[in-house]
Structure 1
């Protein structure tokens, strides 16, 4: 269930027993309640390593609810593809690609992760599940509703090797981002949230954030302990603009179990109006710590 990277972090923080208890919730089957949840979602976050470059990216697919669905007790099917120029395009059309997926519903503050191996299908792809589990709503902002903007067209993607001032401000103002990590022959996609300012831009090529206390499994930090490659995805929940970052991350451990992640940007990809969803304003999670001044 846990690989050596996760075990290393669990032991360092002293939560192995808690991790073993929580880890019992991880299975391979998509239970009926999880299948129903998937069928209601208009967005799916995906993380994987690009086969051509080896870089890890996090991305998102959207569609009418039902575009993501369980098509077996251990299979999830997705209708739709990312654009050909997307860094995940090859990964999502290659048989056997390890992928991590995250279905997150801001309306109910529920989320579930399904990690496994991908198989292309005529209309999209399917994922054979290796891990299926839910996460608690901690640090997840509530957004009461969304609308699909039918005439929204993605703009031209802009690539760069560092953050512009506008992109740095975008990151610093974020209350949510998604992180993709990998290990051995697996991948994972997860969520990080907090009040605006919880992610700090140390320089045009470096971000930092505090790793808040969570479920004790340390799947993300465990993956980073084994393989530092990571991908981040920031989204504007109003305009649909996305900012994808790929690079490497390392965890810095402080006294009392405090942890901070430092991410080095190797490439940035900003796509105006990439997502057709417009969400209502956030209600910040009561669990969010106040960012330091």
Structure 2
């Protein structure tokens, strides 16, 4: 029996004809420990992406930062992050409220080399200066669709107070979305009956040419985003989660100015021969100016966008 993939993931694997193959290789590509090459990458990173889910069932995504070496792996089944943890961060607030045992999704991405590896686990401990996570799943990702950037300078200026946003957002948030070439999305597998919680959280990367996130203004005054789904590794972890638990946490970083835009959304998966992607109806969010201390170089677009951009519905 294949226990690597849950029913949402299996349904999409079946839709593209790779279900049998994924059942065969699942245990080989999704491990219960971090391989040495993953641990080596994590130790070099200037940032770490993190996903969590709050008590109401809303996933949140965030980006934590530090000097290279702030992420350590004391052993192959434990990761620790040593960095000041902002109390205004919605993903960290969810972990504090849930406490040890809360599900955590982690993505280590090195933008200038386009290397990335993921680790999903359970919170062991959390303080104002550090957190640690025990491994449940560890797996690699290919470098496709990642825009290359170099960390240039560290800005110690304290972040501004977080600015809450309603479903209509504001002009600054809309401008950031329109210019974005990178998005991170947190999702959760099926909630545990009776308590609104989840049995797993994941955070993943999505990239595209600036403008790949298409803003749709709703009749009720709110905002929805359309995001095309480009061909990937056929794991379908994010889309499979959203089929089971259709709520997402989005993170759009402003790499030049250090702002993080956190968005909560209801998600609908479209998957047919003509159109593949996500409609994300925004329900609110936060703007955190100065929350990302690293300042970065201009993006160098992924080869998939400079050579033959993947097609996307209009």
Quickly name the TM-score band, shorter chain normalised: over 0.9
Contact 1:99 1:118 (C-alpha < 8 Å) held by counterparts: yes
Once the two structures are superposed, residues 169-217 of structure 1 have per-residue CA deviations (whole angstroms, 9 ceiling, x without a partner) of: 2101100010000013001010000110111011242001100000011
Out of 140, 164, 168, the residue aligned to residue 146 of structure 2 is 140
CA-atom RMSD in angstroms: 1.7
Q: Distance between the aligned counterparts of 2:297 and 2:250, measured in 1?
A: 23
Contact 1:92 1:120 (C-alpha < 8 Å) held by counterparts: no
Q: Secondary structure at the match of 1:255?
A: coil
TM-score by length of 1: 0.93
* Residue 244 (str. 1) matches residue 262 (str. 2): yes
Contact 2:126 2:132 (C-alpha < 8 Å) held by counterparts: yes
Where do 5+ consecutive residues of structure 1 fail to align? none
Offset, 1:102: 0.5
Contact 1:19 1:215 (C-alpha < 8 Å) held by counterparts: no
Contact 1:44 1:103 (C-alpha < 8 Å) held by counterparts: yes
Q: Which residue of 2 aligns with 1:220?
A: 238
Q: Secondary structure at the match of 1:143?
A: coil
Number of residue pairs matched by the alignment: 290
Q: Distance between the aligned counterparts of 1:164 and 1:11, measured in 2?
A: 40
Q: Distance between the aligned counterparts of 1:211 and 1:47, measured in 2?
A: 20
Offset, 1:15: 2.2
Equivalent residues in 2 for 1:2-13, closer than 5 Å:
2-13=5-16
Q: Distance between the aligned counterparts of 1:149 and 1:250, measured in 2?
A: 38
Where do 5+ consecutive residues of structure 2 fail to align? 191-198
Once the two structures are superposed, residues 242-284 of structure 1 have per-residue CA deviations (whole angstroms, 9 ceiling, x without a partner) of: 110012111112325x412000111120011111011111110
Offset, 1:219: 0.4
Contact 2:242 2:267 (C-alpha < 8 Å) held by counterparts: yes
TM-score by length of 2: 0.87
Offset, 1:21: 5.5
Offset, 1:89: 2.9
* Residue 164 (str. 1) matches residue 182 (str. 2): no
